[in-house]
Amino acid sequence: MGLFDRIKRAFTGEDEVVHQLEAKDQESKIVFDTYDKGMEKTRQNFSQRLNALFSGFREVDEDFYEDLEEAFIGADVGFDMTMALTDAIRDEIEERHIFKPEEVKEVVIEKMVQIYEKDGTQLAQLKTNPNGPTVILFVGVNGVGKTTSVGKIAYQLKQEGHKVLMAAADTFRAGAVEQLNVWGQRLDIPVVTGPDQGDPAAVVFDAVKQANEQSYDYLLVDTAGRLQTKLNLMDELAKIKRIIERENPNGVQEVLLVLDATTGQNALIQAKQFNQATEITGLVLTKLDGTAKGGVVLSIRHELDVPVKYIGLGEKATDLQQFNPEQYMYNLVRDVLEVQKNG
């Protein structure tokens, strides 16, 4: 069964599907509730735009498609994704000679889900190192939530029973080392540090050595993701990677770029810039709870060949969730289908 059918059936409460998308056990209840709450603003914005479009619906004409495009752009779905979506919707409507508003609405949602589903609905797992510590570098500009994300992911890995080490290699941002230390104390996870303004590569060297010698499962490295010059960033990350490879033959498993979702399309631009400077293996999209522009996840998936691995849906450690495409889509379109069901 495709995702759209699953979502629809979750609505009508049919069989097991509703349990799969909502709460099956304690753990999936936390996941569902976190997405539910964290995506509230985005969901409201999106359903308001689409429902306003449909409440004024007369017929499927050029004005309708224009308004539809505006609704997508307004939800920060992005220009390219909007065009691809509108084309797919137009083709389907023309092919099936659809004219009733409820059916048009269903096509709109169905195409959104399908265009997304093409990229896969699997949870994006972290790559791991079978022969030693799994090393994850975190990059991103100041204020996006990088240090906080390192702490939250460390917490979750520890909860899963892994032995975790953190390295405070963002020695340039005042306070970053101290902030990671606070997380370390709170979570009872050791943090490798160096002097303020010191060489980040030296911190990384010590950290990899410790991770190897003391058989840690994960080493999470908070790096300075300054973008003053691309060359600077490239050099620094290349140096860090070289040091890690020297000590740890399998090198770095993940380079995660942390982006602030509240900056909407700017986050996409940042992602493109970083991707040119270094090879990014995954994205962490923070602060989705604070924005109505959560549609940016769709445009990022559409325009970059980099998977979203985590999304931040609040301030608590459990609010950083592995990106779950089904929960995301379900929570994005839910209220649009709701009105259809009731109305």
Q: Does 34 bind ligand GDP (CB under 6 A)?
A: no
Conformational region of residue 120, where left means phi above 0, alpha means psi within -120 to 50, and beta covers everything else: left
CB of 222 to ligand GDP, least distance (A): 7
Q: Does 147 bind ligand GDP (CB under 6 A)?
A: yes
Q: Does 143 bind ligand GDP (CB under 6 A)?
A: yes
Half-sphere exposure of 109 (CA within 13 A, CB side): 29
The count of residues interacting with ligand GDP (CB under 6 A) is 18
Residue 56: DSSP 8-state: T
In angstroms, rounded to a whole number, what is the distance separating the alpha carbons of residues 287 and 184? 22
**Stretch binding ligand GDP (CB under 6 A), from 1-9, 91-99, 139-147, 204-212:** 139-147
Half-sphere exposure of 283 (CA within 13 A, CB side): 25
Q: In the chain, what are the helix, strand and coil shares in percent, each to the nearest 5?
A: 55, 10, 30
In angstroms, rounded to a whole number, what is the distance separating the alpha carbons of residues 291 and 42? 6
Task: Kindly tell me which of 42 and 148 has the beta carbon lying closer to ligand GDP.
Answer: 148
CB of 170 to ligand GDP, least distance (A): 7
CB of 43 to ligand GDP, least distance (A): 16
| Sign of the CA dihedral running 289, 295, 296, 297 | positive
CB of 226 to ligand GDP, least distance (A): 11
**Stretch binding ligand GDP (CB under 6 A), from 144-152, 157-165, 231-239, 240-248:** 144-152
* Residues 303-332 close enough to bind ligand GDP by CB under 6 A: 312, 314-315, 319
Pair of tokens at residue 300: 């990022």
* Residues 165-204 close enough to bind ligand GDP by CB under 6 A: 176, 179
Using the rule CB under 6 A, which residue among 6, 8, 105, 146 binds ligand GDP? 146
Q: Does 262 bind ligand GDP (CB under 6 A)?
A: no
Using the rule CB under 6 A, which residue among 78, 145, 194, 295 binds ligand GDP? 145
| Sign of the CA dihedral running 71, 72, 75, 80 | negative
Using the rule CB under 6 A, which residue among 69, 126, 290, 304 binds ligand GDP? 290
Q: Does 132 bind ligand GDP (CB under 6 A)?
A: no
Q: Does 286 bind ligand GDP (CB under 6 A)?
A: yes
Q: Does 156 bind ligand GDP (CB under 6 A)?
A: no
In angstroms, rounded to a whole number, what is the distance separating the alpha carbons of residues 76 and 27? 30
**Residue 103 CB: number of other CB atoms within 10 A?**
12
Pair of tokens at residue 87: 């084309």
Q: Does 302 bind ligand GDP (CB under 6 A)?
A: no
Provide the CA 91 distance to its chain's centre, in angstroms. 30
Q: Does 140 bind ligand GDP (CB under 6 A)?
A: yes
SS (H, E, C) 99-137: CCHHHHHHHHHHHHHHHHHCCCCCCCCCCCCCCCCEEEE
Using the rule CB under 6 A, which residue among 142, 181, 210, 318 binds ligand GDP? 142
User: Closest Cα to residue 75, out of 107, 104, 49?
Assistant: 49
CB of 88 to ligand GDP, least distance (A): 31
Using the rule CB under 6 A, which residue among 148, 171, 248, 321 binds ligand GDP? 148
Query: Which residues form the interface with ligand GDP (CB under 6 A)?
Result: 140, 142-148, 176, 179, 286-287, 289-290, 312, 314-315, 319
